[in-house]
Amino acid sequence: MSLNMSIWLVIFLHIYSVLASDSDPVQDFCIPRSEFSSIFVSCKNSSLVTVEDFVFSGIKSPGEFSKSGFSSIPVSVSVFPGLNTLGMSFVRADFEPGSINVPHYHPRATETAFVLEGKIYSGFVDSRNRVFAKVIEKGEVMVFPKGLIHFQMNIGDSRATILGSFNSQNPGLLKIPSAVFGSEIEEEVLIKAFGLNNKELAKLKKKFLPIS
Amino acid sequence: MSLNMSIWLVIFLHIYSVLASDSDPVQDFCIPRSEFSSIFVSCKNSSLVTVEDFVFSGIKSPGEFSKSGFSSIPVSVSVFPGLNTLGMSFVRADFEPGSINVPHYHPRATETAFVLEGKIYSGFVDSRNRVFAKVIEKGEVMVFPKGLIHFQMNIGDSRATILGSFNSQNPGLLKIPSAVFGSEIEEEVLIKAFGLNNKELAKLKKKFLPIS
Amino acid sequence: MSLNMSIWLVIFLHIYSVLASDSDPVQDFCIPRSEFSSIFVSCKNSSLVTVEDFVFSGIKSPGEFSKSGFSSIPVSVSVFPGLNTLGMSFVRADFEPGSINVPHYHPRATETAFVLEGKIYSGFVDSRNRVFAKVIEKGEVMVFPKGLIHFQMNIGDSRATILGSFNSQNPGLLKIPSAVFGSEIEEEVLIKAFGLNNKELAKLKKKFLPIS
Amino acid sequence: MSLNMSIWLVIFLHIYSVLASDSDPVQDFCIPRSEFSSIFVSCKNSSLVTVEDFVFSGIKSPGEFSKSGFSSIPVSVSVFPGLNTLGMSFVRADFEPGSINVPHYHPRATETAFVLEGKIYSGFVDSRNRVFAKVIEKGEVMVFPKGLIHFQMNIGDSRATILGSFNSQNPGLLKIPSAVFGSEIEEEVLIKAFGLNNKELAKLKKKFLPIS
Amino acid sequence: MSLNMSIWLVIFLHIYSVLASDSDPVQDFCIPRSEFSSIFVSCKNSSLVTVEDFVFSGIKSPGEFSKSGFSSIPVSVSVFPGLNTLGMSFVRADFEPGSINVPHYHPRATETAFVLEGKIYSGFVDSRNRVFAKVIEKGEVMVFPKGLIHFQMNIGDSRATILGSFNSQNPGLLKIPSAVFGSEIEEEVLIKAFGLNNKELAKLKKKFLPIS
Amino acid sequence: MSLNMSIWLVIFLHIYSVLASDSDPVQDFCIPRSEFSSIFVSCKNSSLVTVEDFVFSGIKSPGEFSKSGFSSIPVSVSVFPGLNTLGMSFVRADFEPGSINVPHYHPRATETAFVLEGKIYSGFVDSRNRVFAKVIEKGEVMVFPKGLIHFQMNIGDSRATILGSFNSQNPGLLKIPSAVFGSEIEEEVLIKAFGLNNKELAKLKKKFLPIS
């Protein structure tokens, strides 16, 4: 393959980060071609598809824990291509005692959270700022309506684990603390919005320094 | 309340078996009024809604097992009203060793099946009659694309359990053996479709006598 | 064109088996480029589009009949590209006297079936295994709700013909007998699901040997 | 039933002219309660549903012909309740030789038109004002993309008939001549839009006097 | 009307706070009956509908300003019933010099914001915490993708005004500061999520005391 | 780059005129690669995306006026790529005194029209040919339901301006006069549909000669 050819290939691959959307599928399934990144619009020839494309084995154990004792493995179409065009994805979250999943939301999905292990204080805020929260235990399920802010905290003595399921192949995730204080929103906006002074804001932001 | 009133009430309740649909919600949530049946179009006044409306505790243990050793608890909006308008539901299925979940499909949803316990031979058939099947174990997930026939069998030595999640609040369920041989499809159609004689069909149908 | 170029072209074409989906169109129409296969994501330049792209002439006569006397010509976007992105397709089915359209379903569409000629016993099974069936005649229409199993049998003395319309550009088709007994579902699953012994299953499967 | 009761009943029925929408169904079907009008949101108790709810027999023969020799029977959910929530409907149109179906469009559906009998000049206009038209004959199908203006004329020597299918349970219909010249659009708008003088407009409007 | 009747009426009205959803309409329009609250599923008899139902005159002037100098008038289906089932709504926002629209998001809609007057620093945060922000002026338009956090600040010397349009009839609104610090999220969750101590949290919360 | 390469590139670019659809997005946003035309299915690498992609500055002033005194600048995804996959677009329309926006419709969107300046007689026709029209003024908003014919006329003494917003990224536009009389619809169809004679039709058509 010539040099030009290779350049062209790079361009081509680059393009395919693509749109797919959570509407009804029009095929049985569409396994993206593995050469290409994230979300795909082109399907593997179906004779090359195998059962492995429909099975995901990466959440048997917890992911890497943060210093605060929280771990999550989001499984959207970018890591489990079999989900492509099918409008679903999921996540495994593990909590050391006392650790939290910070207030966050998924802009493109409702979530049903099933407690695999432990006791979790779990809740969400609706658009009237009302909180619906309680402790849920192994085997219980809580639903977080589409786009609403929710949070969890392990209030038990041992590790807790949750399996969350979403009705989008790519639900998205916005963590409130880092989206607000770890991003480059103009400081004056934050000072006015939260009633902070410069020093208080600086202290808050320090915790969420963007990764450089 | 007068007699006429009561009759009217009956008529009224009767009406509310109603349409809702898996499109985007237009409220944060819509807890159906509890007086009415199955699927609802009218929401409880939001000040009457509590966190209990969003938590489901009925799948901590297996349901009742069939003689063949299979149990399932489908959790759609009719038993967990908090799901209303949110486009999700789920199911817990338990398998004694060797027992199966017969070939079936959900006409209105994709399913992601997470193995809570055990070893399950699990697969589906696509519209070219190709089977994608393999043994999946605790912590693994398999996706069954929308509307395709799938099946499971506990091939381990102990009880196995699966949590299935759906992207519809009412996915529906058609079990192939009973839909075909346990329903009142004209016998001549079945005889011709499956290449059976009268006696063979009678024997097959005996197993799936409709509940009288 | 160089050899490398050709290889590249092959790869490229191969990719385009692609996702489209039955949501609202965002153009007047999108005739797929004819070089590419089945379902397309890229539209012909509109100046190359002609009225021929919007007319289909392939169902004036029946298709080839099976030995059992049934013929069908499904017309989805892969043979009538004008349907692309428009969310509709159709099928012509012809029946010799006594012949059947085996129990089957379309995972992605509702069907309205119009009788062009003859008398057809026609019905479907709902998710409570209840059968809704009757004889319909020339000029009558029956609706088969999305994803439900349905079947037909010519009970008249002459050939019967049906025009089916779908609200998906690629509704899919699963024929129950061949999907279940003509596929490679593990035999133990079928034995248990249908209450068969090995010999009975073998006999049933013989009729549906997968095409090799 | 008391007088008050009756008033109440009237109010109640009045309400139910209702919204339903062409998204995915969440039940197998939803036959509207027959007491209520047009489009429904509440389903008959499924034990009261019979096969008659899913069969329509009203288009075996042409409807009443207009003076100009055209007849159409639109079959949406208001006359065939079985279509409710299923996202489909259809129409039978008959043409005496030389008669036309005036330029019109359906704001909420794509249409596939199958020629049951005769030779029909048939076409549509896209949003660049380009016309795609040709003569189609018995057994041919033309697709009219969602929302585009289309028209038909019987150019044969005998009666012609078309079966149109739609992917909405209530596609809507706007006939251009009567919507523009038979409605009460301010005359100055029409004079300027079509470059007419007062007398020319008056003549045009006379043909489309609103029914009083 | 008897007492019982009245009670019944109250119950009935109460029910109708209802689900509608942003899918395709199935009628030309559906003006909700005015007796009922917020979002409706039942349409006024179309003969009672007038042009006033489709015109909204309530955003000719700014709404009431907050102490901080911000005012907004959200116009969803609950105040402009003509929007019902049509999937759109809008908002007028006015800013005194230096005032802000705090970081917020709409869980169910994309927004296009048109500057009617003034100079506005305007931006949003994506799900990688990247900020896209700049000053926009009279006649410019910025798009805020569905569900992402956005904010605005009048950086000019005179009042600024924005017209925002949404592609949902009820987009929802979550203001980050009050949803997080003005709601009853368990304090331990906030302390851990934002790295605050008790005193800092108390100070932050004081600004957002829920309205009692 | 070799000759073959260039040809290939041309082919490739040509393909990308593509389908996208107004369903839910599955990413935060998807800025199309700028090399390609109109509507896109492939997204720019997100690190190349800047705030400029989300801001549109092209409607600060009116567009070019027609001889009749009307000007419009439609802003769909083809000129404002930031709208891609987000399901919205907009238009600026300016009217000299007495000038009109001819009866037209958008096949794929509802429109909310906000009066920026002036007094506009504004209305639409429903599918029963009923007109809903009135004069709206600066700061008022009128909604035109999806797919219905609407029109406007400046009845004030000075220039009038409207901002229209749509819930589709590519709503489409069919102007009735030019679609009907400026297109190549068979003349006999128009003569019969509008009750014209040859001479009257010829006069009408002269005004709308297709651009050659």
DSSP state string for D32-82:
BPTTS-SS-SSBPPGGG--GGGGEE-TTSS--PPPTTSEEEEEE-TTT-GG
Which contacts of C46-51 are long-range, i.e. CB under 8 A and separated by 24 or more positions? C46/D126, C46/D128, C46/F17, C49/D132, C50/D132, C51/D123, C51/D132, C51/D133, C51/D134
Q: Which amino acid belongs to residue C64? A: E
CB contact under 8 A, D24 and B19: no
Instruction: List the single residue in C68, C147, C193 with the smallest CB-CB distance to B177.
Output: C193
Torsion, Cα of B187, B188, B192, B198 (10° steps): 70
The pLDDT assigned to E32 comes to 67
Would you say residue C140 has pLDDT above 60? yes
Please indicate, yes or no, if residue A63 is contained in any of the structural domains: no
Selected residue of D83, D84, D86 to mutate for chain C interface (largest C Cβ count, 10 A): D86
Q: State the total domains in chain F.
A: 2
Distance of alpha carbon D114 from alpha carbon D141, whole angstroms: 4
The total of other beta-carbon atoms located within 10 Å of residue A50's CB is 12
What is the mean predicted confidence (pLDDT) over B10-26?
44
Q: Which residues pair with F144 in a beta bridge?
A: F111
Size of interface B-E (CB pairs under 8 A): 59
Instruction: List the single residue in A185, A188, A207 with the smallest CB-CB distance to E125.
Output: A185
The pLDDT confidence band at residue A209, using thresholds 50, 70 and 90, is confident
Would you say residue E45 has pLDDT above 60? yes
Tens of pLDDT, residue by residue over A77-128, are 889 988 988 989 999 999 999 999 999 999 999 999 999 999 999 999 998 9
Please indicate, yes or no, if residue D194 is contained in any of the structural domains: yes
- For residues E19 and D21, the answer to whether their CB atoms sit within 8 Å is no
The pLDDT assigned to E29 comes to 73
Q: Tell whether E150 is in a known binding site.
A: yes
CA distance D45 to chain B (A): 7
Helix (H, G, I), strand (E, B) or coil at F54: helix
Residues C195 and C138 occupy one common structural domain: no
The pLDDT assigned to E66 comes to 95
Distance of alpha carbon D156 from alpha carbon A208, whole angstroms: 77
Residue C191 corresponds to which tokens in the numbers above?
A: 């034995």
What is the mean predicted confidence (pLDDT) over E144-153?
96
Residues C167 and C209 occupy one common structural domain: no
Instruction: List the single residue in D51, D80, D142 with the smallest CB-CB distance to C134.
Output: D51
Helix (H, G, I), strand (E, B) or coil at E74: strand
Please indicate, yes or no, if residue A172 is contained in any of the structural domains: yes
Please indicate, yes or no, if residue D177 is contained in any of the structural domains: no
Tell the burial category of B53 from Cβ atoms under 10 Å away from its Cβ (0-12, 13-18, 19+). Answer: buried
Q: Alpha helices of chain F — where are they, by DSSP H?
A: 3-15, 176-181, 187-194, 198-206
How many Cα atoms sit within 13 Å of D104 on the Cβ side? 21
Concatenated DSSP letters of D185-200: --HHHHHHHHT--HHH
CB contact under 8 A, E145 and F29: yes
CB contact under 8 A, A165 and B88: yes
CB proximity E8 to B under 8 Å: yes
CB proximity D61 to C under 8 Å: yes
Check residues D11 and C189 and name the one with the higher pLDDT. Answer: C189
Distance of alpha carbon A140 from alpha carbon E99, whole angstroms: 45
The pLDDT confidence band at residue D45, using thresholds 50, 70 and 90, is confident
Would you say residue A174 has pLDDT above 70? yes
CB contact under 8 A, A51 and B133: yes
Would you say residue B20 has pLDDT above 60? no
Mean pLDDT of chain C: 84
Helix (H, G, I), strand (E, B) or coil at A133: strand
What is the mean predicted confidence (pLDDT) over A188-208?
94
Distance of alpha carbon A18 from alpha carbon A13, whole angstroms: 10
The pLDDT assigned to A102 comes to 97
Residues F168 and F187 occupy one common structural domain: no
Enumerate residues 83 to 142 of chain F having a beta carbon within 8 A of any beta carbon in chain D.
Answer: 99-100, 102-103, 105, 107-108, 121, 123, 125, 127, 129-131, 133
Apex CA C136: angle with CA C135 and CA C139, to 5°?
A: 165
- For residues E115 and E101, the answer to whether their CB atoms sit within 8 Å is no
CB proximity E14 to B under 8 Å: yes
The pLDDT confidence band at residue D98, using thresholds 50, 70 and 90, is very high
The pLDDT confidence band at residue E42, using thresholds 50, 70 and 90, is low
Distance of alpha carbon E32 from alpha carbon E83, whole angstroms: 9
Mean pLDDT of chain F: 84
Tens of pLDDT, residue by residue over D118-154, are 999 999 999 899 999 999 999 999 999 999 999 999 9
Residues B23 and B56 occupy one common structural domain: yes
The pLDDT assigned to E20 comes to 41
* Contact residues, chain E, for B33 at CB < 8 Å: 15
The pLDDT confidence band at residue E2, using thresholds 50, 70 and 90, is very low
Residues D159 and D188 occupy one common structural domain: no
The pLDDT assigned to A119 comes to 98
The pLDDT assigned to B44 comes to 78
How many Cα atoms sit within 13 Å of D47 on the Cβ side? 1
Q: Tell whether C45 is in a known binding site.
A: no
Size of interface A-C (CB pairs under 8 A): 58
Would you say residue B77 has pLDDT above 90? no
Distance of alpha carbon B41 from alpha carbon B30, whole angstroms: 8
What is the mean predicted confidence (pLDDT) over F83-93?
93
Handedness of CA C198, B160, B103, A26 (dihedral sign): negative
Distance of alpha carbon B24 from alpha carbon B161, whole angstroms: 31
Would you say residue E62 has pLDDT above 80? yes
CB proximity F46 to A under 8 Å: yes
Would you say residue A37 has pLDDT above 70? no
Please indicate, yes or no, if residue E197 is contained in any of the structural domains: no
The pLDDT assigned to F24 comes to 66
Whose tokens are 């079928």? That residue is C190
What is the mean predicted confidence (pLDDT) over C83-109?
95
* Contact residues, chain F, for D189 at CB < 8 Å: 100, 102-103, 121, 151, 153
What is the mean predicted confidence (pLDDT) over A32-36?
51
The pLDDT assigned to C32 comes to 67
The pLDDT confidence band at residue D207, using thresholds 50, 70 and 90, is confident
First-last CA distance in chain C: 36
The pLDDT assigned to C85 comes to 85
Would you say residue C7 has pLDDT above 50? no
Distance of alpha carbon F169 from alpha carbon F40, whole angstroms: 11
Mean pLDDT of chain B: 84
- For residues F134 and F123, the answer to whether their CB atoms sit within 8 Å is yes
- For residues C31 and A29, the answer to whether their CB atoms sit within 8 Å is no
Min mean pLDDT across B106-110, B158-162, C194-198, F76-80 is at F76-80
CB proximity E57 to F under 8 Å: yes
Q: Give the whole-number percent of chain F exceeding pLDDT 70.
A: 81
Min mean pLDDT across B188-202, C20-34, C90-104 is at C20-34
Residues C120 and C192 occupy one common structural domain: no
- For residues C179 and B129, the answer to whether their CB atoms sit within 8 Å is yes
Residues F195 and F90 occupy one common structural domain: no
Helix (H, G, I), strand (E, B) or coil at C181: helix
Q: Give the whole-number percent of chain A exceeding pLDDT 70.
A: 81
Tens of pLDDT, residue by residue over E65-92, are 999 999 999 998 889 988 988 989 999 9
Whose tokens are 């919600």? That residue is B25
Picking from C109, E148, A91, the residue whose alpha carbon sits closest to that of residue F25 is E148
List Cβ neighbours of E24 (8 Å cut-off, separation of 6 or more).
C24, D21, D22, D23, D108, D168, F146
Q: Tell whether E111 is in a known binding site.
A: yes
Selected residue of A70, A194, A200 to mutate for chain E interface (largest E Cβ count, 10 A): A194
- For residues E107 and E167, the answer to whether their CB atoms sit within 8 Å is no
Tell the burial category of D66 from Cβ atoms under 10 Å away from its Cβ (0-12, 13-18, 19+). Answer: exposed
Would you say residue A19 has pLDDT above 60? no
Would you say residue F168 has pLDDT above 80? yes
Would you say residue B187 has pLDDT above 70? yes
Tens of pLDDT, residue by residue over F45-59, are 878 899 999 999 999
Distance of alpha carbon E36 from alpha carbon E40, whole angstroms: 7
CB proximity D59 to C under 8 Å: yes
Residue C15 corresponds to which tokens in the numbers above?
A: 């990719």
Instruction: List the single residue in B83, B127, B134 with the smallest CB-CB distance to A28.
Output: B127
Would you say residue B34 has pLDDT above 60? no
Residue F59 corresponds to which tokens in the numbers above?
A: 């409607």
Residues D108 and D44 occupy one common structural domain: yes
Mean pLDDT of chain E: 84
Tens of pLDDT, residue by residue over F192-208, are 999 999 999 999 999 88
The pLDDT assigned to C149 comes to 97
The pLDDT assigned to A36 comes to 40
- For residues D108 and D22, the answer to whether their CB atoms sit within 8 Å is yes
Instruction: List the single residue in D28, D126, D142 with the smallest CB-CB distance to C28.
Output: D126
CB contact under 8 A, D185 and F123: yes
Using CA atoms, how far residue B111 sits from A31, A108, B77, D169, in Å, is 16, 18, 16, 28
The pLDDT assigned to A71 comes to 98
The CATH code of the domain that includes C161 is: 2.60.120.10
Residue C146 corresponds to which tokens in the numbers above?
A: 């999305």
Distance of alpha carbon B40 from alpha carbon D121, whole angstroms: 47
Tens of pLDDT, residue by residue over E96-132, are 999 999 999 999 999 999 999 999 999 999 989 999 9
Distance of alpha carbon E120 from alpha carbon E142, whole angstroms: 11
The pLDDT confidence band at residue D22, using thresholds 50, 70 and 90, is low
Residues C195 and C125 occupy one common structural domain: no
User: Exposed e or buried b for every residue in B177-198, given b needs 16+ CB within 10 A?
Assistant: bbbbbbbebbeebbebbbbbee
- For residues C174 and B148, the answer to whether their CB atoms sit within 8 Å is yes
CB contact under 8 A, A145 and B90: no
Residues F102 and F198 occupy one common structural domain: no
List Cβ neighbours of B173 (8 Å cut-off, separation of 6 or more).
B74, B104, B105, B106, C127
Closest residue of chain D to F107, computed from CA coordinates: D147
Residues A191 and A173 occupy one common structural domain: no
Residues D106 and D191 occupy one common structural domain: no
The pLDDT assigned to A33 comes to 56
Q: Residue B211 is part of which domain span?
A: 182-212
